[in-house]
Structure 1
Amino acid sequence: MSSSPSDSQTEILAPEECWKYLQASYIGRLAVINGAAPEIFPVNFVVVGETLVFRTAPGTKLRALLGGAAVAFEADGLNAYSTEVWSVVVKGTPGPFDGDPAVLKEADPDREPWQPGLKEHLVQVTPAEITGRRFAVSPRSRWWPPQDLSADWT
């Protein structure tokens, strides 16, 4: 990326575009608060209507989700030529999936958890906010070598 904000060509995505990217994706990262600490988990998911649905097993992730605190979810990707990237963030409330499980098969019949083991808990994230952005990938010569940003931390 360019080091100058004025050179940025970031495009803010409309919610409809965000949902299209999510529907075309299959893995993202779920951020939860576990006690006082943030935790991030990779999850494969499916879009049902305007909610995200995934399976999970008992453990840290499920305990954090059952607390009902807001979560954040991010998925991102790039085009086939690696010239453009996108990122979508969903902030919302987790809860048990309250829809018909048959809808999940219709949404994506081949979607199954990647990690082995029983994942009997269906969780949905109901969005309070969805945001996204897309931008062109700058040539490596524009961002390498890295700049010393240590002065920004003092």
Structure 2
Amino acid sequence: MNPSSGPITVLSDTECWEHLATQRVGRLVTSVGDVVDIVPINFVVDGDTVVFRTAPGSKLSELTVNSSVVFEVDSFGETSGWSVVLRGRARALETEAEIAAAELLPLKPFVPTVKRVFVRIEATAVTGRSFVFGSEPDHDAVHNE
């Protein structure tokens, strides 16, 4: 991890991707006009992209209108945690080669539904923080430094 001057550490891009790869569920944020949606999705990291499966419906329609997305994943324990936010563009995979490669990924729907559309999020930016939990510092001591 990067050097830290306190309980919050900025993660490098590599560390962000490593953390993302340890999880299977994240939150996808889409927006169309004034409507912003956030939905949990299961995913897999594939290189420096995120891949998920979906079915025709509002999520896929929204991505067709506006491919810009935000994707967030975090993990928290008793004494520490981390959060990674990925900004990028999402697109449904269309070619036979892309779909065949995606079908080889360890990505199955969590619920027993048919989700034949693979979507890849190509990152334009990834940021992350790790946290060490503890008691709140004395308010007066912080302001007197």
TM-score range, shorter-chain basis?
0.7 to 0.9
**Alignment equivalent of 1:71, drawn from 56, 69, 88:** 69
Match of 2:29 in 1: 31
Q: Aligned residue for 1:56?
A: 54
Residues matched between the structures, number: 131
Which amino acid in 1 is paired with 2:114?
L
| Percentage identity across paired residues of the two chains | 35
What RMSD, in angstroms, separates the aligned Cα atoms of the two structures?
2.1
Q: Which residue of 2 aligns with 1:152?
A: none
Whether contact under 8 Å (2:31, 2:69) holds in the other structure is yes
Q: Equivalent residue for 1:3?
A: none
Greater strand proportion: 2
Please give the alpha-carbon distance, in whole angstroms, between the structure 1 residues aligned to 2:123 and 2:9. Answer: 21
Aligned counterparts, 1:13-32, within 5 A = 13-32=11-30
Tell me, yes or no, if structure 1 residue 88 matches structure 2 residue 84: yes
The answer on whether the counterparts of 2:67 and 2:91 sit within 8 Å (CA) in structure 1 is no
TM-score by length of 1: 0.76
CA deviation map 1:25-77 (0-9, x unaligned) = 10000000134210001000001110000000111111111123310000000
- Answering whether residue 115 of structure 2 is matched by residue 119 of structure 1, we say yes
Query: Per-residue CA shift, 1:125-149, capped at 9, x if unaligned?
Result: 000000000011224xx39xxxxxx
* TM-score normalised by the chain length of structure 2: 0.80
